[in-house]
Amino acid sequence: MTRTSQASVPNAGPAQKLAVLGGGAFGTALACAFSRRFPEVGLWLHEPEAAERLASSRRHPTLAWMPPLSAAIRPTADLAEVLSRATYVICALPTDVYGDFLAQHASKLPAAPLYLVASKGARLGADGAVETPRRWLEAALAHAGHRDTRVALLSGPSFAREVAEERFTALVLAHEASEALHDDAAFLSGPKLRLYLNDDPVGVELGGALKNVMAIAAGFMDARDFGENAKAAFIARALAEMTRLAEGLGAKRETLAGLSGLGDLLLTCHGAQSRNRTFGEHLGRGLSVAAARAAAGGVVEGEKTAAAAYAAAERLGLRAFIAEHVHKVVSGQLSPSVALEKLGEWSPISEHL
């Protein structure tokens, strides 16, 4: 497949506009990071009052560490204003709000040249299939008559704070026809934010979702001070489980060895900024699920992804020991200490998948 020429890319001209849907930590961080490349960045927040405060103060109302917004960023609760003339649309909404958002606003979504899904989560559908934000958005766009609109994934190891502070970050831009996005990746990349192409969006989205489940279990271990040897062994086995599940759900095995698999897993299992790991650590220290969620300070995607991962493994007849025990802890069936004991009782098996 040949690379597209710069002239063939609709957003290659001087009037590019970026729309970011979601004014949480990651959405705002991406708006900050990309504001140097776009003369205008529309940032959509659900709550008008929060949008007004952010627009006037240029400081995020709940995230004190977020840098002041540049002049290019225009926060608003007016979705039509954000989407107007957008050449790229980044969807950085929490996974749980996609249903309500698309139910209310799908008809307003334009046939933009490229949608980028930056949300990391998975849910179990009514038919037993694993559902993801990318698939919900594709279905909504098709229903709105935009069947040819491209929907890609933007994923990889990326704490919001470091993205906002413009520390070096490498992400994956994933689409089945990834080579056609070569010029998009080149345009969006900068000295501190590099985009790598991947033609396996299924593997990229599952890597980004499943690593959150593994991070919760890593938090259990941190609460009990298991040590670095145990953490290293756990991460290796967690990657094997993620790869097994993702491959069973249609992903390419090698994708899980990349940025949105191994890279994201290492970051979220070790990093102090990981909400999922922090949530697991608080559970391991005896907090209730609700209290641990509040203490984690944001959306804990792995909590519900664990249920989808465990159910998918059961349906496919695959081993998912970690996902099973995380699900049983967050659903109140096991304590973190008992889960850790059971995770330590693995029968000797082949190291390989």
Mean pLDDT per segment of 10 residues, for the chain of length 353 residues?
38 74 97 95 97 96 95 98 97 96 96 94 90 96 94 98 97 97 96 97 98 98 96 96 97 97 98 97 97 93 96 95 97 95 75 66
- pLDDT, position 1: 35
Give the active site residue among 17, 120, 211, 304.
211
Residues 6+ apart with CB under 8 A from 235: 214, 218, 265, 266, 269
- pLDDT, position 111: 92
Single-letter amino acid code for the residue at 160? A
- pLDDT, position 353: 61
Helices (H), 149-274: 160-164, 182-188, 201-223, 228-248, 264-270
Q: Are 133 and 119 in contact (CB under 8 A)?
A: yes
Half-sphere exposure (Cβ direction) of 322: Cα atoms closer than 13 Å: 28
- pLDDT, position 344: 79
CA distance 83 to 41: 10
Q: Please, what sign has the CA dihedral across residues 25, 29, 30, 32?
A: positive
- pLDDT, position 3: 38
CA distance 89 to 202: 20
Residues forming a β-bridge with 114: 88, 150
Q: Are 21 and 154 in contact (CB under 8 A)?
A: no
Residues forming a β-bridge with 193: 169
CATH architecture, domain 6-199 = 3-Layer(aba) Sandwich (3.40)
Single-letter amino acid code for the residue at 39? P
CA distance 196 to 155: 10
Is 304 catalytic? The answer is no
CA distance 116 to 155: 9
- pLDDT, position 342: 87
CATH architecture, domain 203-343 = Orthogonal Bundle (1.10)
Q: Which of 109, 144, 137 is nearest to 121 (CA)?
A: 137
- What residue segments make up the domains of the chain, in order of their start? 6-199, 203-343
DSSP string, 105-131: HGGG----SEEEE-----EE-TTS-EE
Residues 6+ apart with CB under 8 A from 291: 282
